Amino acid sequence: MRIIFLGAPGAGKGTQAELVSKKAGIPTISTGVILREAIKNKTPLGVSAQSYIEKGQLVPDELVIDILTDRLMQPDCKDGYILDGFPRTIAQAEALDKMNIKIDKVVNIYVPDEKIVERLAGRRSCPSCGATYHVVYNPSEDGVHCTKCTSELTQRTDDKPETILNRLEVYHKQTAPLEEFYRNRGILCDVVGQEELEDTTALTMKVLGLK
């Protein structure tokens, strides 16, 4: 099964993708995670990507397409995968077509803009294991440290208020057209993001036919 998670930043793509990944036994590939790792390790890719990410802009298509192409060649992708945060432009979706990759389902998580701002501003993540939390909706056990690995939680630099609005604008202009692109192919499944994480998960599992 090859699944794409679509939706604004902070809609819950990463969280739901991880849960589906566990359930379906296929890996989640997140271009955002790969890019942040590259920035942390100061690799040439990280150095090229950093300024775009910090401004809330998209990293150029050629760069992310290359990253994804390499990642999909790893053996763990042979039985399927979940793409979280890719494609983000029509050109990236067309790159998947050119690679002859047949996507089975695209889960489109909808959350209104006002909620997105609240969600991103309250998002915290673990710099060590990558787990994500929200100060109100999905707090870690003590609110300060990662429940899984006890590292101190941090806020992503691109989750700062000044960058959030930029990212939303970029989403509406460059990524939202993908909804139509995949709807026209009959593989788009809409999920309305719910207040409770578990309720969104239930809807996600239902559209994917997973119990």
Contacting positions for ligand AMP (CB under 6 A)? 9, 31-32, 35, 52-53, 57-59, 64, 85-86, 88, 92, 158, 167
Of 112 and 202, the one with the shorter C-beta distance to ligand AMP is 112
Task: Give yes or no: 124 in active site.
Answer: no
Contact 107, 208 (CB under 8 A): yes
Lookup: tokens for 190: 């809409």
Task: Give yes or no: 13 in active site.
Answer: yes
Residue of 2, 13, 71, 119 marked catalytic: 13
CA–CA distance, 126 with 151 (Å, rounded to integer): 7
CB of 8 to ligand AMP, least distance (A): 9
Task: Give yes or no: 183 in active site.
Answer: no
Task: Give yes or no: 167 in active site.
Answer: yes
When CB distances to ligand AMP are compared, the closest residue is 32
CB of 136 to ligand AMP, least distance (A): 19
Q: What's the gap between Cα 114 and its chain centre?
A: 19
CB of 54 to ligand AMP, least distance (A): 8
Task: Give yes or no: 119 in active site.
Answer: no
CA–CA distance, 121 with 105 (Å, rounded to integer): 29
DSSP H helical ranges for the chain:
13-24, 31-40, 44-55, 61-72, 90-98, 113-121, 161-170, 177-183, 197-207
Pairing of strands 81-84, 105-110: unpaired
Of 62 and 209, the one with the shorter C-beta distance to ligand AMP is 62
Residue of 2, 71, 124, 156 marked catalytic: 156
CB of 147 to ligand AMP, least distance (A): 20
Contact 210, 20 (CB under 8 A): yes
CB of 57 to ligand AMP, least distance (A): 6
Contact 182, 90 (CB under 8 A): no
Whether omega before 161 lies within 30 degrees of 0, making that bond cis, reads no
Of 34 and 203, the one with the shorter C-beta distance to ligand AMP is 34
Of 99 and 202, the one with the shorter C-beta distance to ligand AMP is 99
Q: What residues pair up with 188 in beta bridges, in sequence order?
A: 106
Residue of 36, 71, 88, 105 marked catalytic: 88
Q: Please identify every residue annotated as catalytic.
A: 13, 88, 123, 156, 167
